[in-house]
Amino acid sequence: PKFDQIAFEKKARKERMKRNHAALNVVKSLNLPMPLAKGIGRSIVLQLREQGISSKAASWAIQRWTHSDVYLNAVINGKRRLNLDGTEAELITDAEREYSRSILEARNLT
């Protein structure tokens, strides 16, 4: 049988998306505080790796989640970022609020 590169790539892409969406579901199930403290993504990736999720899938899931409408609205309406344990971290800047607002406006959701 001849190797079908297109079918192989399609199957690989489908499997990758399946893993990524599984990772996103795990991120959502963690009930992380919003918005997260800066630089905390690495800690979340390590936590997900302990659950058998690859770093790549974990990073993809965190990026998707932190760019979700719910998360961006939390940045717009929040005063401070939060650590994983819910304690307060740094203040949210006006520039961060404006960036979040611009993403939502581009989606026509504000």
Q: Kindly list the domain boundaries of the chain, sorted by start residue.
A: 5-106
* pLDDT at 35 > cutoff 70: yes
Q: Which two tokens stand for residue 75?
A: 């940045």
The secondary element (H helix, E strand) that includes residue 65 is helix 55-66
Q: CA-to-CA distance for 81 and 90, rounded, in angstroms?
A: 6
Q: Which two tokens stand for residue 15?
A: 């499997």
Instruction: Share the mean pLDDT of the chain.
Output: 92
Which pLDDT band holds residue 26 (cuts at 50, 70, 90)?
A: confident
CATH architecture of 5-106: Orthogonal Bundle (1.10)
- The model's pTM is 0.80
Q: CA-to-CA distance for 16 and 57, rounded, in angstroms?
A: 8
